């Protein structure tokens, strides 16, 4: 490690990291909440809300609201109606829903409003963990802070944290489990490895396919420094420079390193055996999530393996698996859903990944393995695009992992700096567009069927919600449609936080562009601090002025905590600079200088 890295490590060691992480959390949370729609924006979220609400009300995770029960419910134990979604999306929203139920006037409005902010909390927590992760990678405090905010506000993590889809929650548990696994290897802690496994196991409470990435996440617990790998691999771990090798060579090196760890663990006690033990502890702890998942299935449907997903697919007659080539190209290269279009800075992650891998090969291998397994699986399902939604929401879980490579991008030279700035600016513009207009407007204007993706797996090579959003955002300046009267198309007039449903059965889907012109929600800016002013005060979910004041206060507190740490850094450096000036002022120093 050179002197610059030593100084950064010493600087990071003097910082009370918890205060800065808290400041990051508060600033990001306030921004995410202020830019969120403030209502349940998709019926997936409505179903999860109903489960949380009725669990608090009756002690059972059931659905009672008639429309949601008809569309999203399935009969289970005691002839009650249950959702096919996992427990995670409802479980972690319980505190917010409970808080809203304390003063739910009009009925259900406050609890639905607060429920819609669940992902804002998890998105902000993801950024706080990412900041701490940067410090563990010996990134200096200012750079760690800057790249954390880059991730927070120029990638899809921002709009995904303002929706009631639960993908931002997945991202938190993935980055959190890998962070704990990485710390367990760095500090040689079995407890941290087991805790990381528990965090990773929670993912199963959301979707069972996360079982596929648990071994990849567990790679973060390994330490290869004593694995007896090839000489050049050892040099890479020690930071020595070598000519660049192709990706296939690096993958082979990673596989050889893992094999060397296993062989060394079998032969003798030592760090290799401890690495394998941490790996196994991680996976064993993750099994707690699997047990909870099976128990939740039994609670609802009287079977450990029946979760309602197959019944849902059969009810609406769509295939679970589709064209893997179309799915893969859709989420990576299509004009309508490419992750690189919706999150341009991710290109920087690819750019800096080689240097990250050279410094921390275990971490690089864990990121690459997790990404490969998840992307390949998502490519195989028929609904790889995750509709109806904004962008490729299923890969948002990987964004914080690739953001770990941001600080390793080389920005030497004007051309490189300009390219980096252009990518960050593009990311900020794209996220601003994402937050501007109701997402479902795109689908209704094109009169799409609910499961249009099952009929045309190449749809997003012909159409793009991102490109269409420019015109949609510009149309906000024209005002609302003259026939727009109610705020939201829903069963219950007078409330604004209930989810959007499509045209009623008596309206043909081809007429949905005409039908949607009756509702304000499609023609008002999406963030709740803007549209909620159009709602009568007595019908609002919250006290608008008090809530805005609290959020601005929260943001200012976060800024104050971060600024405090800048002062600590400045004061820590000041004595060193004074001593250096005194040293240079000595006569012998001046003579030597002359």
Tokens of 546: 């008090």
pLDDT for residue 243 is more than 60:
no
pLDDT class of 482 with cuts at 50, 70, 90: confident
Q: What is the pLDDT of residues 144-184, one digit of tens each?
A: 999 999 999 999 999 999 999 999 999 999 999 999 999 99
Q: What is the pLDDT of residue 307?
A: 85
pLDDT for residue 72 is more than 50:
yes
pLDDT for residue 265 is more than 60:
no
Least reliable range by pLDDT among 339-353, 417-431, 492-506: 492-506
pLDDT for residue 8 is more than 80:
no
- Closest CA relative to residue 351, chosen from 396, 410, 427, 428: 410
Q: Which residue has the tokens 């893997």?
A: 324
- pLDDT, greater one: 502 or 375: 375
Q: Cβ distance 223 to 275 under 8 Å?
A: yes
Q: d(Cα 59, Cα 49) in Å, to the nearest integer? A: 14
Q: What is the pLDDT of residues 121-143, one digit of tens each?
A: 999 999 999 999 999 999 998 99
Establish if 532 belongs to a structural domain: yes
Q: What is the pLDDT of residue 415?
A: 86
Establish if 226 belongs to a structural domain: no
Kindly report the pTM of this predicted structure: 0.89
pLDDT for residue 507 is more than 80:
yes
CB atoms under 10 Å from CB of 438, counted, come to 23
pLDDT class of 272 with cuts at 50, 70, 90: confident
Q: Cβ distance 411 to 352 under 8 Å?
A: no
Q: d(Cα 26, Cα 74) in Å, to the nearest integer? A: 39
Q: What is the pLDDT of residue 238?
A: 42
Helix (H, G, I), strand (E, B) or coil at 74: strand
Q: What is the pLDDT of residue 315?
A: 81
Average pLDDT of the residues in 328-341: 96
Establish if 347 belongs to a structural domain: no
Q: What is the pLDDT of residue 63?
A: 95
Q: How many residues does the chain have?
A: 594
Q: Cβ distance 99 to 179 under 8 Å?
A: no
Q: What's the maximum distance between 2 C-alpha atoms anywhere in the chain?
A: 94
Q: What is the pLDDT of residues 394-416, one digit of tens each?
A: 999 999 999 999 999 988 878 88
Q: Cβ distance 130 to 148 under 8 Å?
A: yes
Q: What is the pLDDT of residue 588?
A: 46
Establish if 276 belongs to a structural domain: no
pLDDT for residue 267 is more than 90:
no
pLDDT for residue 53 is more than 50:
yes
pLDDT class of 77 with cuts at 50, 70, 90: very high
pLDDT for residue 234 is more than 50:
no
Q: What is the pLDDT of residues 177-216, one digit of tens each?
A: 999 999 999 999 999 999 999 999 999 999 999 999 999 9
**Percent over 90 (pLDDT), the chain:** 67
pLDDT class of 270 with cuts at 50, 70, 90: low
Q: How far apart, in Å, are the Cα atoms of 41 and each of 161, 163, 167, 472?
A: 12, 7, 14, 17
The total number of structural domains in the chain stands at 1
Establish if 231 belongs to a structural domain: no
Q: d(Cα 463, Cα 459) in Å, to the nearest integer? A: 6
Q: What is the pLDDT of residue 239?
A: 42
Q: d(Cα 522, Cα 591) in Å, to the nearest integer? A: 75
What is the domain range of residue 448? Answer: 441-539
pLDDT class of 589 with cuts at 50, 70, 90: very low
pLDDT class of 282 with cuts at 50, 70, 90: very high
Establish if 484 belongs to a structural domain: yes
pLDDT for residue 356 is more than 80:
yes
Average pLDDT, the chain: 87
Average pLDDT of the residues in 281-299: 96
Q: Cβ distance 438 to 496 under 8 Å?
A: no
Range ranked top by mean pLDDT from 24-28, 221-225, 564-568: 24-28
pLDDT class of 483 with cuts at 50, 70, 90: confident
Q: d(Cα 408, Cα 364) in Å, to the nearest integer? A: 12
pLDDT class of 274 with cuts at 50, 70, 90: confident
- Closest CA relative to residue 27, chosen from 562, 567, 566: 562
Establish if 298 belongs to a structural domain: no
**Percent over 70 (pLDDT), the chain:** 85
pLDDT for residue 43 is more than 50:
yes
């Amino acid at each position: 490690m050179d002197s610059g890295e030593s100084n950064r490590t010493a600087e990071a060691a003097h910082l009370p990291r918890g205060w800065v992480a808290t400041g990051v959390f508060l600033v990001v949370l306030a921004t995410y909440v202020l830019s969120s729609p403030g209502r349940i924006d998709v019926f997936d979220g409505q179903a999860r809300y109903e489960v949380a609400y009725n669990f608090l009300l009756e002690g059972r995770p059931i659905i009672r609201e008639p429309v949601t029960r008809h569309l999203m419910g399935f009969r289970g134990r005691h002839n009650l109606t249950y959702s096919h979604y996992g427990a995670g999306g409802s479980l972690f929203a319980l505190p917010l829903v409970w808080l809203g139920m304390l003063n739910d006037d009009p009925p259900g409005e406050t609890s639905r409003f607060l429920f819609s902010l669940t992902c804002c909390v998890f998105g902000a927590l993801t950024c706080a963990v990412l900041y701490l992760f940067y410090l563990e990678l010996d990134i200096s405090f200012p750079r760690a802070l800057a790249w954390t905010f880059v991730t927070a506000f120029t990638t899809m993590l921002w709009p995904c944290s303002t929706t009631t889809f639960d993908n931002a929650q997945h991202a938190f548990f993935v980055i959190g489990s890998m962070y704990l696994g990485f710390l367990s290897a760095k500090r040689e802690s079995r407890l941290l490895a087991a805790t990381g496994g528990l965090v990773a196991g929670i993912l199963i409470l959301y979707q069972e396919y996360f079982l596929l990435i648990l071994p990849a996440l567990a790679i973060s617990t390994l330490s290869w420094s004593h694995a007896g790998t090839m000489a050049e691999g050892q040099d890479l771990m020690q930071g020595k420079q070598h000519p660049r090798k192709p990706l296939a060579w690096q993958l082979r090196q990673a596989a050889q390193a893992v094999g060397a760890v296993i062989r060394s663990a079998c032969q003798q006690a030592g760090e290799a055996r401890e690495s394998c033990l941490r790996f196994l502890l991680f996976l064993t702890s993750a099994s707690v999530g699997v047990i909870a998942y099976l128990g939740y299935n039994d609670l609802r449907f009287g079977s450990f393996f029946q979760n309602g997903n197959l019944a849902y697919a059969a009810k609406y007659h769509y295939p679970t698996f589709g064209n893997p080539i179309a799915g893969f190209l859709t989420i990576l290269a299509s004009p309508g859903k490419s992750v690189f279009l919706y999150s341009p800075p991710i290109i920087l992650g690819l750019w800096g990944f080689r240097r990250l891998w050279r410094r921390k090969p275990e971490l690089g291998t864990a990121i690459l393995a997790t990404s490969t397994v998840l992307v390949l699986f998502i490519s195989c399902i028929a609904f790889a695009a995750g509709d109806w939604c904004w962008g490729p929401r299923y890969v948002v879980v990987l964004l914080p992992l690739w953001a770990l490579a941001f600080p390793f991008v080389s920005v030497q030279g004007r051309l490189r700096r300009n390219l980096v700035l252009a990518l960050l600016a593009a990311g900020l513009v794209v996220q601003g567009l994402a937050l501007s207009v109701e997402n479902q407007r795109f689908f209704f204007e094109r009169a799409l069927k609910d499961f249009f993706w099952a009929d045309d797996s190449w749809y997003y090579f012909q159409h793009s919600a991102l490109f269409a959003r420019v015109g949609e955002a510009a149309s906000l300046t024209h005002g609302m449609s003259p026939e727009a009267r109610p705020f939201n198309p829903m069963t219950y007039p007078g409330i604004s936080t209930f989810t959007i449903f499509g045209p009623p059965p008596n309206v043909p889907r081809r007429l949905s562009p005409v039908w949607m012109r009756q509702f304000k929600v499609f023609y008002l800016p999406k963030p709740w601090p803007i549209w909620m002013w159009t709602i009568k005060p007595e019908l609002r979910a919250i006290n608008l002025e008090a809530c805005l004041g609290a959020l601005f206060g929260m943001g200012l507190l976060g800024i104050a905590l971060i600024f405090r740490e800048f002062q600590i850094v400045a004061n820590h450096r000041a004595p060193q600079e004074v001593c250096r000036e005194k040293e240079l002022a000595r006569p012998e120093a001046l003579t030597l200088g002359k």
